[in-house]
Amino acid sequence: MRNRKFSSQHATVDDENPYWISFSDIMSGLLVIFVLASLALILELTVTKFEVNDAIREIARAEQVRRDILREIEEDLRKRNIHVEISDNHTVLRIPENILSFDNNEYRIPEFAGMKETALEIGRVLNASITKEARWKYLDTIFIEGHTDRRPSPRHMGNWGLSTFRAISVWNYWNTNLPESMRLNELKNHSGSPLFSVSGYGETRPVQKIQETENDFQKNRRIDIRFTVRRPALEEFTNIKKLLED
């Protein structure tokens, strides 16, 4: 009788505590939560890794396309007896003074030595290489950069203005004299913005550091063509950084 009474009382205690959970059940529940959280973290890190790898591949591809464009332009112009230089770690096409230069304090392309026709040929080759296989999709901006020698210019805005006018002069000459099908002002970059722009550096980036003779000065009165490539947006890198920090 006593045993039956105890058993009855024990059963009543269990029935009156429906929230009673054994320690092993609690641990099992926590383990499930831990496994799910770990899987979620692994998945998130895997996605982040793919995003980082995609960004790296995109940058590497754009850099390679830029190299290909510059090498192709240099080679095609050399076949036309126009010798240009690739500089600044395969980012700039430099046009030496014997190919295209400017008179002192002048921004118009000179009439002598066939420089206008040479400038036009450079524009033709430039267009052909950029539009080949839609390479423009990997570019952000192509800058026509003007430069001056160290001597102050009496023109409006000094050497800054003179160097910018030189870049504009080349740009306008291309778009006035190239065939309509090769007009560079029609080209857009990956985001639909104009691909080309102009800039002037005055005397701040000389290729000839020592400037004493007229030959020294002439080397710095030049045009460079700088190619910048498309890169992932800052927002994409910020999102990846947040995932890695969380």
Q: Where are the domains of the chain?
A: 23-51+237-245, 63-229
Q: Which two structure tokens, joined as six digits, stand for 27?
A: 């641990």
pLDDT > 70? residue 98: yes
pLDDT > 70? residue 83: yes
Query: Is there a contact between 211 and 217 (Cβ–Cβ < 8 Å)?
Result: yes
- pLDDT of the residue at 156: 85
| pTM score, whole prediction | 0.76
Average pLDDT over residues 67-93: 96
> What DSSP state is assigned to residue 108?
S
pLDDT digits (tens, 9 = 90+) for 125-180: 999 999 999 999 999 999 999 999 999 999 889 999 999 999 999 999 999 999 99
- pLDDT of the residue at 56: 73
CATH of 63-229, one of 3.40.710.10, 3.40.50.150, 3.40.1360.10, 3.30.1330.60: 3.30.1330.60
> Rounded to whole angstroms, what are the CA distances from 160 to 88, 146, 165, 210, 222?
21, 9, 9, 20, 13
Query: Is there a contact between 94 and 87 (Cβ–Cβ < 8 Å)?
Result: yes
224 exposed, middle or buried (CB, 10 Å; 0-12, 13-18, 19+)? buried
- pLDDT of the residue at 59: 82
- pLDDT of the residue at 58: 81
Query: Is there a contact between 220 and 211 (Cβ–Cβ < 8 Å)?
Result: yes
Give percent above pLDDT 90 in the chain: 65
According to DSSP, the β-strands at 85-87 and 223-229 are unpaired
Query: Is there a contact between 26 and 19 (Cβ–Cβ < 8 Å)?
Result: no
